[in-house]
Amino acid sequence: MATVQPHRVRPGRGIELGLLALALAIGIAAYALVGIGVTGEVPADVVGYGVGMTVLGLGLHAVLRWRAPYADPVIMPAVVALNGIGLAMIYRLDLAEDASFATRQLGWTAVSVVLAGAVIVLLRDHRTLRRYTYTAMIAGLVLVVLPLVPGLGAQINGANIWIRLGPFSLQPAELGKIALAVFFAGYLVTNRDTLALAGPKVLGLQLPRIRDLGPIIIAWAASLAVLVSERDLGTSLLFFGLFVAMLYVATERLSWVLIGLSMFVVGAGVAASAFPHVGARFDVWLHALDHDIFNRSPGGSGQLVRGLFGLASGGLFGTGWGAGRPDLVPYAESDFIFASLGEELGLTGVLAILLVYLVLAERGMRTAIGVRDGFGKLLAGGLAFVVAFQCFVVVGGITRIIPLTGLTTPFLAYGGSSLLANWIIVALLLRISDDARRPPGVVQGHVAATPPHGSPAPVQIVGSAGGPARPSRSAREAEAPQASDTRPTERIDEMRGDDA
Amino acid sequence: MNTPLRRLSLVVVTMFLVLMVGTSWVQFVQADSLNNDSRNVRTLYREFGNPRGPIIVAGTPIAWSEPVDDAFGYQRIYAPGALYSSVTGFYSIVNGRTGIESAENDVLTGSSDSLFLSRVQDLITGKQPQGSSVELTLNPAAQQAAWDALGDQVGAVVALDPSTGAVLALVSTPGFDPNSLATHDIAAARTAYSDLNAAPNDPLVDKALKGKTYPPGSTFKLVTAAAALESGQYSADSLIDAPDELALPQTSATLRNYGGASCGSGGQTTLSDAIRVSCNTAFGKLGMDVGADAIRDQAKKFGFDESLSIPMSVTKSYFPPNEDLDPAKLAKSAIGQQDVRVTPMQMAMISAGIANGGEVMTPYTVATVRTADLDVISQTKPSVFRRAISAQTASALTDMMVSVVDSGTGTSAKIPGVRVAGKTGTAETTSDQSPHAWFTGFAPADDPKVAVAVIVEHGGSTGNEATGGKVAAPIAKAVMQAVLGS
């Protein structure tokens, strides 16, 4: 254990303000350049747009100063930059296609930022969420199956992942992933020892007991059910990836990951051979440029290949805002916005965007490592991973690294549910990062007055932890900051292995 | 849980590295092949998105790009419709491009290397790059005259300026309307193309330059006569055998004159008269006497067996090799039958060479290329293609050709007040089809301004009764008159 060095922790709000100014400048300049590139003049509403985005950004910044002064200063500006670049590209495609997606996306951005602020204000301590572990499970499952409810679900572009409420179409699975992350975090922090320590060891791999496989089998089955019934390879991959990642973080058992991956591969393989629409995706992936597959309808590779053409024409430096033809790619503003950006900003532009995502995800991971309670670690780690993984699945699909699925690029792509859900994820990460970065002794408002004992006491579960204690574990856990005197619950959480 | 979180962070970094490599792979490594994929419409859109330069004849654009409000930005328009179709070709989204549109694509789009400096200027000044204009050598009156004179008949006309090689008229009938192929209505463009492709008499084939080549018939006698004169053993007044029937060695067949007529008296005639009345038996015999090598060499000097680009490519004309020529076949080849094949352009070059004192000039259709600012980028300088015959031979042949028009087979090419030189041809094809009617010549004979070649496939409207003199000579006359009148 390292000696705790007393040093002044900088809340980072000043840094955040500077980065926010940069992020806003990028977004607003992009918006103005789109107008210049397409019509030859600065768009008339750039001032209104700029003021709107600035008010939203500064508003959230103020909320952070007020309620989460130690929150990570990089996360929010990174997201504002991505959101702004996405808006500029959606506006650019509006000009090309005579559509009005940008206005709606701007509306959704406002709603999302306000909601994110509300989450930060209302959720004083992320551990409160642990109380709702099973509520979250039910909410998550309901959200996932909602599109299957007759009369509510709507099939759009061949996937049953939408519900229609009056004029709005929502993808409930986007919100479902947050609920499931909360459930996984709560469930796993309670049951991690059982999953980690029980079971035979074969070839150096600690295998789980059959009965402990229950939850992973349920998650696997649920993912496949989503895949088959809602024709949504992306969401099922996302949920399953989230679950496996969190399971690994909770148990440190590589065997879980291997079992999980092999189950998914087998399941997907069976699904590919049993269901034509899944099989078609594999054909498209492997033989995208074949003439027959390019022209096949439905289920041809036309969209994918047109996206590749767009990326290729962008080359290293891109055509510049408004100077390419991203509108030649179907769904250029949603599923394929990455290809649109690749065409106009070039390889350099999209590498910069990917780096912003990477910074965002790593800041989330850093938050998970820094926070002192197991639930927070799992939740932050899971949420950060899910954002990164979603990027990987979408961009990997567009660049033909993996089969194409129907997910949206977080913050960039057009889509209200996606924007809303991802901004809530950001709010949760900010909330947890405030906890992670707050120096010991600094107590925030009511949190100290309401000790987290109110949550379902993990202490009761301690007894159920089976298996032998492994001395190495305490050494490893000792890496976690131990300055948690004010947090008895978490202390027990972390020390459980030793207690058993 | 920090150890697995750190490892998970590494997994996240790895995922993004994979994405970065994958994106670089597409945008850098694969970019070229994707950009050149025939299904990638972006290249075409980029071309269409810039104003393409006009094609200009005598100061008037005959093809230009007009801004339109659709995905492509500019619509190519061909003003006189089909009249210039054999020269301009077409420029289409779905059907590609042909003719000048294809051959001069680089300068029309402005992407030619010769435009590098002006592109750099555009880049610095922020001006939208524009294609250059291509000015053709065509004479609108001659083009119109050729088009009108051919009318509904299937055939081709080529007119050259003998002293420079500039193409004055280039017509192939039936023509086609390039506008129907250049339309941005993709379905309509496709239909138009497949209709034209399936239409009788191949409107999409430029009969003046390529596609099929034709037996030249008696017009080839100019080459045989040139070979004889160049050999030094013959002059215009040399007496040569001209039997009513020429027995072809090693066969039971005989060669006869058109309509079974006899030429000359006593079975002999002068070379000059043999040309004037287009005596088959005399030239059959002369061919065998002069020999295959001499005729082939002479043909090559006029341009046979050589591909040209003017800048559209011209199919090679053909004279058979020795191993395919027994004496009988040689006799038939010497009168332009058997396997001899020519393009109308080649025939025009022969007349132009004779008109130009024996020197064949390289034919060309592009006079000047100018930037959008009218700066001249390139101007075609006339160049000598080859000296085909001596000036003496040229002069002798000219006199013979004048007699063809004055009092021989080509009298219908006579132009009042102008000495016209010419040679007719009636080329037998298959036994069940009428012969092709040919005429080639130039005018005025003493100071040639225009050389012309005309073919009317299968006798045109005259059918079986057709001869070069009846069908093709009037067309040549119209074209020559148009040039001389302007």
The whole-number pLDDT of residue A491 equals 39
Q: Which of B25-29, B121-125, B206-210, B245-249 shows the lowest per-residue confidence on average (mean pLDDT)?
A: B121-125
Evaluate if residue A471 carries a pLDDT over 50: no
Q: Spell out which residues of chain B touch residue A390, defining contact as CB-CB under 8 Å.
A: none
- Tell me the mean pLDDT in the region A293-298: 74
Mind telling me how many Å the CA of A246 is from chain B's nearest CA?
9
CB B234 within 8 A of CB B253: no
Give me the residues of B, 13-42, that contact A with CB < 8 A: 13, 15-16, 18-20, 22-28, 30-32, 34-35, 37, 39-42
CB contact under 8 Å between A315 and B31, yes or no, is yes
Evaluate if residue A457 carries a pLDDT over 50: no
Distances (CA, A) of A249 to A196, A429, B383: 10, 17, 81
Asked if B249 reaches chain A (Cβ–Cβ under 8 Å), the answer is no
Of the partner residues A342, A401, A480, the one whose CB lies closest to the CB of residue B18? A401
- Tell me the mean pLDDT in the region A171-196: 86
CB contact under 8 Å between B42 and A325, yes or no, is yes
Q: For residue B165, give both structure tokens.
A: 């090689």
Average pLDDT score, chain B: 90
Neighbours of B316 (CB within 10 A): 17
Evaluate if residue A477 carries a pLDDT over 60: no
HSE, CB side, 13 Å, CA atoms: give it for residue A475: 3
Strands (E) across A275-369 are located at none
Evaluate if residue A200 carries a pLDDT over 70: no
The whole-number pLDDT of residue A288 equals 82
- Helices B473-485 and B140-150: angle between axes, nearest 10 degrees: 160
Q: Spell out which residues of chain A touch residue B44, defining contact as CB-CB under 8 Å.
A: none
Q: Spell out which residues of chain B touch residue A384, defining contact as CB-CB under 8 Å.
A: 12
Nearest to A383 by CA among B10, B3, B12: B12
The whole-number pLDDT of residue A293 equals 80
The whole-number pLDDT of residue B99 equals 92
Distances (CA, A) of A434 to A199, A343, A438, A482: 38, 38, 6, 17
Residue A386: left if φ>0, alpha if ψ -120 to 50, beta else—which one? Answer: alpha
Evaluate if residue A368 carries a pLDDT over 60: yes
Evaluate if residue A481 carries a pLDDT over 50: no
3-state DSSP call for residue A131? helix
Neighbours of A298 (CB within 10 A): 9
- Report which of residues A83 and A493 the model is more confident about: A83
- Tell me the mean pLDDT in the region B273-277: 92
Mind telling me how many Å the CA of A161 is from chain B's nearest CA?
26
- Tell me the mean pLDDT in the region B64-79: 87
The whole-number pLDDT of residue A468 equals 41
CB contact under 8 Å between A312 and B25, yes or no, is no
Q: Which residue of chain B is at minimal alpha-carbon distance from A242?
A: B8
The whole-number pLDDT of residue A158 equals 59
* pLDDT band, residue A455 (cuts 50/70/90): very low
Q: Spell out which residues of chain A touch residue B31, defining contact as CB-CB under 8 Å.
A: 311-313, 315
Of the partner residues A310, A328, A374, the one whose CB lies closest to the CB of residue B1? A374
Sheet holding B366-370, edge to edge: B74-78, B60-67, B55-57, B133-136, B366-370, B376-379
Q: Which of A253, A399, A473, A479 to mutate to test the interface with B (most CBs of B within 10 A)?
A: A399
Q: Which uninterrupted H or E stretch holds A170?
A: strand A168-170
Residues forming beta bridges with residue B379, ordered by sequence position: B368
Quick: pLDDT tens for A12-63. Answer: 899 999 999 999 999 999 999 999 888 888 888 899 999 999 999 999 999 9
Quick: pLDDT tens for B146-185. Answer: 999 999 999 999 999 999 999 999 999 999 999 999 998 8
Residues in Cβ contact with B242 at an 8 Å cutoff, skipping those fewer than 6 apart: B262, B263, B264, B267, B268, B269, B274, B279, B281, B282, B285
Asked if B322 reaches chain A (Cβ–Cβ under 8 Å), the answer is no
The rounded distance, in Å, linking the Cα atoms of A127 and A373 is 8
CB contact under 8 Å between A399 and B25, yes or no, is yes
Evaluate if residue B353 carries a pLDDT over 90: yes
β pairing state of B60-67 and B254-256: unpaired
Evaluate if residue A483 carries a pLDDT over 70: no
Mind telling me how many Å the CA of A476 is from chain B's nearest CA?
7
Q: Which residue of chain A is at minimal alpha-carbon distance from B10?
A: A362
Q: Which uninterrupted H or E stretch holds A394?
A: helix A374-398
Quick: pLDDT tens for A25-35. Answer: 999 999 999 99
CB A322 within 8 A of CB A40: no
Residues in Cβ contact with A197 at an 8 Å cutoff, skipping those fewer than 6 apart: A206, A465, A466, A467, A468, A470
Evaluate if residue A439 carries a pLDDT over 50: yes
The whole-number pLDDT of residue A463 equals 35
* pLDDT band, residue A181 (cuts 50/70/90): very high
- Report which of residues A468 and B65 the model is more confident about: B65
Q: Which residue of chain B is at minimal alpha-carbon distance from A244?
A: B8
CB A76 within 8 A of CB A387: no
Q: Spell out which residues of chain A touch residue B25, defining contact as CB-CB under 8 Å.
A: 399
- Report which of residues A4 and B354 the model is more confident about: B354
Asked if A377 reaches chain B (Cβ–Cβ under 8 Å), the answer is yes
CB contact under 8 Å between A358 and B16, yes or no, is yes
Evaluate if residue A150 carries a pLDDT over 90: no
Asked if A480 reaches chain B (Cβ–Cβ under 8 Å), the answer is yes
The whole-number pLDDT of residue A443 equals 62
Give me the residues of A, 324-363, that contact B with CB < 8 A: 325, 328, 342, 346-347, 350-351, 354-355, 357-358, 361-362
Quick: pLDDT tens for A72-91. Answer: 999 999 999 999 999 999 99
Question: Which DSSP letter does residue B449 get?
Answer: -
Evaluate if residue B61 carries a pLDDT over 50: yes
Q: For residue A233, give both structure tokens.
A: 């390879």
Look up tokens 């792979």; give the residue. B25
Asked if A253 reaches chain B (Cβ–Cβ under 8 Å), the answer is no
Residues forming beta bridges with residue B456, ordered by sequence position: B155, B437
Average pLDDT score, chain A: 81
CB contact under 8 Å between B3 and A385, yes or no, is no
- Report which of residues B1 and B354 the model is more confident about: B354
Give catalytic residue positions of B.
218
Q: Spell out which residues of chain B touch residue A314, defining contact as CB-CB under 8 Å.
A: 27
The rounded distance, in Å, linking the Cα atoms of B82 and A131 is 82
Q: For residue B302, give both structure tokens.
A: 């006029």
The whole-number pLDDT of residue A464 equals 37
Query: What DSSP string describes B321-379?
Result: -GGG--HHHHHHHHTT-TT-BB-HHHHHHHHHHHHTTTEEEPPBSEEEEE-TT--EEEE
- Report which of residues A213 and A460 the model is more confident about: A213
3-state DSSP call for residue B450? strand
- Tell me the mean pLDDT in the region A476-499: 40
Look up tokens 């079975």; give the residue. B267
Question: Which DSSP letter does residue B54 get?
Answer: P
Asked if A315 reaches chain B (Cβ–Cβ under 8 Å), the answer is yes
Asked if A385 reaches chain B (Cβ–Cβ under 8 Å), the answer is yes
- Tell me the mean pLDDT in the region A422-445: 86
Quick: pLDDT tens for A381-424. Answer: 999 999 999 999 999 999 999 888 878 899 999 988 999 999 99
Evaluate if residue A129 carries a pLDDT over 90: yes
CB contact under 8 Å between B23 and A311, yes or no, is yes
The rounded distance, in Å, linking the Cα atoms of B228 and B466 is 29
Evaluate if residue A492 carries a pLDDT over 80: no
Q: Which residue of chain B is at minimal alpha-carbon distance from A361?
A: B12
Nearest to B299 by CA among B390, B222, B215: B222
Evaluate if residue B337 carries a pLDDT over 50: yes
Percent of chain A with pLDDT over 70: 77
- Tell me the mean pLDDT in the region A125-149: 86
The whole-number pLDDT of residue B482 equals 96
CB contact under 8 Å between A325 and B45, yes or no, is yes
Q: For residue A99, give both structure tokens.
A: 């559509």
- Report which of residues A475 and A413 the model is more confident about: A413
Asked if B381 reaches chain A (Cβ–Cβ under 8 Å), the answer is no
Chain A to chain B Cβ contacts (< 8 Å): 140
Global ipTM: 0.85
* pLDDT band, residue A496 (cuts 50/70/90): very low
Most confident segment among B66-80, B322-336, B387-401, B422-436: B387-401
- Tell me the mean pLDDT in the region B464-478: 89
β pairing state of B436-443 and B450-456: antiparallel
Q: Spell out which residues of chain A touch residue B35, defining contact as CB-CB under 8 Å.
A: 309, 312-313
Evaluate if residue A489 carries a pLDDT over 60: no
